[in-house]
A = this chain, B = another copy of it.
Amino acid sequence: MTNQYVDIENLKYLLFEVHEIENLLKKERFDAYDKTAIDIFIDSIKTFSDKSLFPYIKDMDENPSYFKDGKIIIHPQFKNILKSAGEMGIVGSIYDFDDGGLQLPSSIFHAAYFIMEAANNHVPGYFGLTAGSANLILSFGSQFLKDTYVPKMLDLTWGGTMCLTEPQAGSSLSDVATEAVPTQEDYFLIKGQKIFISAADHQFSDNFVHLVLARIKGAPSGIKGVSLFVVPKNRPSENGKLVYNSAAIVGEFEKMGQKGYCTTHIVFGDNDDCRGWLVGEKNKGLSYMFQMMNEARIATGRMGAAIASAAYYASLQYANERPQGRKLNSSGQKNTDEEQTLIINHPDIKRMLFSQKAIIEGSLSLIFETAIYLDKEMTSASPEEKEKYNLLLELLTPVAKTYPAEQGIKSTSLAVQILGGYGYCFDFMPQQYYRDVRIIALYEGTTGIQSLDLLGRKVPMKNGKAIALLAAEMQSAINEANTHNTLKPYAQILLENLDLVQKVINHLMPYAIKGNHERYLADATVFMDFFGTIVIGWQWLKIAVNAEKNLKENNQKQTKEFYASKIHTMKFFFNYEITKTKGLAKTLLNNEELTIHTFENIF
CB within 8 Å of B: which residues of A?
Answer: 165, 168-172, 174-175, 195-196, 221-223, 253-257, 263, 316, 322-332, 334, 336-337, 340, 344, 346-351, 353-354, 357, 409, 413, 416-417, 420-421, 423-427, 431-432, 434-435, 438-439, 441-442, 446-448, 451-452, 456, 512, 515-518, 521-526, 561, 564-565, 568, 571-572, 575-576, 579-584, 586-587, 590, 592, 594-596, 598-603
Contact = CB atoms under 8 A, between A and B. Distances in A.
A592 B564 contact: no
Given A350-B598, A590-B575, A254 B451 contact: no
Contact of A171 (B325, B581, B600): B325
A312 B515 CA distance: 33
Nearest to A320: B603
B347 A601 contact: no
A522 B175 contact: no
B518 A347 contact: yes
Give this chain's copy count.
2
Contacts of A329: 517
Contact of A598 (B568, B600, B601): B568
Nearest to A565: B602
A347 B253 contact: no
Contact of A255 (B172, B424, B583): B424
A351 B523 contact: yes
A566 to B, nearest CB: 10
Contacts of A336: 174-175, 221-223
Contact of A515 (B324, B326, B330, B425): B330
A334 B582 contact: no
A426 B316 contact: no
Contact of A603 (B357, B446, B598): B357
B434 A256 contact: yes
Given A431-B256, A583-B581, A409 B417 contact: no
Given A332-B456, A332-B515, A594-B568, A425 B325 contact: no
A582 B442 CA distance: 30
Contacts of A426: 253-256
Contacts of A420: 170-171, 442, 446
Nearest to A170: B324
B340 A175 contact: yes
B421 A438 contact: no
A451 B221 CA distance: 56
A332 B517 contact: yes
Contacts of A168: 323
A307 to B, nearest CB: 14
5 closest Cβ pairs, A-B complex? A222-B336, A330-B515, A347-B522, A579-B583, A347-B595
B601 A561 contact: yes
A424 B451 contact: no
A525 B348 contact: yes
Nearest to A451: B348
A320 to B, nearest CB: 8
B601 A348 contact: no
Nearest to A355: B595
A427 B253 contact: yes
A329 B512 CA distance: 11
Contacts of A344: 603
Nearest to A516: B330
Contacts of A424: 255-257, 438-439, 442
Contacts of A409: 413
Contacts of A325: 171-172
